[in-house]
Structure 1
């Protein structure tokens, strides 16, 4: 199975389940940008429950823009805010210290376009997971792709995902298990077991 999927900011677990269980991954880069999606947002588990980290972008609904043309609004110090949120949420997790140094370039390097950030983010995560995935990018937009399983709906925040197996999260005792958070939640809590977890899941 080959999968067609959107590159997103620190993809959620369902995204990674789709990618890891495919023969190859084709990133959709020729679509129009849509607000209210995971293209510029990820969700983590903070002390008060689910917490959204959003990358600010310069985008107006009036002028349709391709995803690859949408710029990041770098006026705010969003990278440092996201890093502090991750430190606050996961500093007590078993594998935070093990991985955070490898991810630091994402919080120190300047990115002008949200698509470039997301593709780089994916590369960094593959290094952390020590995984190799065969990837490509679309050359044109196809409403109904041929020869690929279409996982593009996973980018929408209201898309329902079937039950994912539970694992221990930092604040489970306070708020219970929260499924399908950012892959970072799984990585910081499960470490080297992350790949095995992903391969056991079904979408």
Structure 2
């Protein structure tokens, strides 16, 4: 099965469920950029509950831009801020120290475009999860894809994903289990067991 998804910032668990349960991945890169989505946003588990991390972008709704043409607003020190947030949230998780060095290029290197940055996120996460999936990019935008199963709706922040099984999170005792956070939450808490966890899940979307 070939699944069609958007490249997003540290994709949530539903995105990686679609990746793991596929033979190959096709990334949608031929669409117009839309605000208020996971294209430039990820959600982690902080000390006070769910915490959103947003990559600032230079974008105007009045002048439509292709996703691939949207630039990151690098005048803000967002990379340092996001890294500090991850350290605060996950430094006590079982596998944080094991994986964080592999992800450091995302916080240390300069990226001009959000799409390029998100694709680099996917590459590094795939290496960390030891996933072996071929991937390709779209060349045209199709409302109804002819060759791939469409999971592009997962990019919407109001897509409700249910039925993920609980796993131990750093702040579970304070706020309970929070489902479908960034794949980083699963990776830092479950480590090498993350892929097996993803394969066991059944996905329900509202």
TM-score norm. by structure 2 comes to 0.98
Q: Which residue of 1 aligns with 2:81?
A: 81
1:138-177 alignment runs, 5 A limit: 138-177=138-177
Q: Which residue of 2 aligns with 1:120?
A: 120
Q: Which residue of 2 aligns with 1:90?
A: 90
Residue 119 of structure 1 aligns to a residue whose secondary structure is helix
CA deviation map 1:47-83 (0-9, x unaligned) = 0000000000000000000000000000000000000
User: Does structure 1 residue 35 correspond to structure 2 residue 35?
Assistant: yes
Gaps of 5+ in 1: none
Deviation at 1:148, TM superposition (A): 1.2
1:1-203 alignment runs, 5 A limit: 1-203=1-203
Q: Distance in 2 between matches of 1:126 and 1:145?
A: 25
Moved over 3 A (4+): none
TM-score norm. by structure 1 comes to 0.99
Deviation at 1:130, TM superposition (A): 1.3
Deviation at 1:163, TM superposition (A): 1.4
Deviates more, 1:154-163 or 1:50-59: 154-163
Gaps of 5+ in 2: none
Q: Distance in 2 between matches of 1:104 and 1:68?
A: 23
